[in-house]
Amino acid sequence: MTRPDLTIMGGGIFGLSCAWEAARRGAKVRVIEAAHLGAGASGGIVGALSPHVPESWNDKKAFQLDSLLMAEGFWGGVQAAGSLSTGYGRVGRLEPLADARAVDLAHARAAQAADLWQGRATWRVRATTGDAWEPHSPTGLLIEDTLSARLHPRMAVAALAAAIRAKGGEVIDHAGYTTPDDQTHGPVLWATGVPGLEALNAAFARTVGAGVKGQAILLAHDAATAPQLFADGLHIIGHADGTVAIGSTSEAAWDSPTAVDTQLDALHARAIAACPVLAGAPVLDRWAGLRPRAKSRAPLLGAWPGRAGHFVANGGFKIGFGMAPKVAQVMADLVLDGVETIPPGFGFAALR
């Protein structure tokens, strides 16, 4: 292609989503990935797109709400452009309520959601029905929300790459980042996950962020039209391809960042206890990897301080796929149009 208007370093969810949004707006984009697309956390298997609880409202929760409400249109556009499925479905979510205190809190949150979610999604308490997919609930009651959705991370990454190429963009993988200057033109957006956070740590001589290990498991069980479940701290996701993903552990220390171990066995057992219909479902895949977490725990977005023409989109820890549509929007606003729409808590100033 001719010289790009924008170069994106990193072929994970933030890099590809920002590239797609820029290409959709007419920019010529080039994505450069050091290894393979989705090589880090974006190559996982869970894909839960779920809101924070509707209370103690802040910029992060408002940003996430906007992104979840944008998701159907965003992922539909990706799929239409590249003709590959993302596995997206706004299927909602069920969560069991353990005791009377949890029930009271859930009712209070329902009232808050009615106000904060703008009538575009609901949060309610309802009784269990005995359906085999419902999680065990000690109270016989569940939270049901209609905002939560799911997609398959690996399908979404492939679909984004196809959509970018369909718009005339370049997606280059197995490229390395050691000498990118001969391939980068225009502004450069760094969306390089854990290695990117480590580079920022070195550049600023302080901790900007770090990787947190997660492990997840994929089962052969068809729950493609069922709501996702959140039970015993686990996301249980029925994917469109007839699989069920369960995740994730959250590990600050590890021997190997990509090795699975007995913690995953325990996670599997907890999921079956919460949703017995999964007992006996064959295991298709076991995944482990590092997820980038910024020190502020919000995504780290904005201009790279002291490095003119360079920008950062990183730190999508656990919520990267859910935040991606809105992240892509605000980064395109900034990089292409010079318009700052990023919440203050998402910038470098929040790390001081």
Domain segments of the chain as ranges: 6-87+152-209+295-351, 93-147+211-291
Q: Which two tokens stand for residue 322?
A: 């859910």
Coil vs helix vs strand at 152: coil
Q: How many of the other CB atoms lie within 10 Å of CB of 292?
A: 27
- Is the pTM of the predicted complex or chain greater than 0.85? yes
**Helix residue ranges per DSSP H, 34-183:** 59-82, 100-116, 153-166
**Omega into 248 within 30° of 0, i.e. cis?**
yes
- Reduced to 3 states, what is the DSSP secondary structure of residue 343? coil
pLDDT tens string, the chain, 352 residues long: the values are 578 899 999 999 999 999 999 999 999 999 999 999 999 999 999 999 999 889 889 999 999 999 999 999 999 999 999 999 999 999 999 999 999 999 999 999 999 999 999 899 999 999 999 999 999 999 999 999 999 999 999 999 999 999 999 999 999 998 765 545 555 667 999 999 999 999 999 999 999 999 999 999 999 999 999 999 999 999 999 999 999 999 999 999 999 999 999 999 999 999 999 999 999 999 999 999 999 999 988 999 999 999 999 999 999 999 999 999 999 999 999 999 999 999 988 988 766 6
- E strand segments, 97-208: 123-127, 141-145, 149-150, 170-172, 188-190
Task: Using CA atoms of 294, 300, 304, 305 in order, give the dihedral in degrees to the nearest 10.
Answer: -70
Cα 282 to Cα 269: distance, rounded to the nearest angstrom: 13
- Euclidean distance between CA atoms 193 and 290, whole angstroms: 9
Q: What is 93-147+211-291's CATH number?
A: 3.30.9.10
Note the CATH number of domain 6-87+152-209+295-351: 3.50.50.60
Q: What pLDDT does residue 179 have?
A: 46
Rounded Cα–Cα distance for residues 225 and 159 (Å): 21
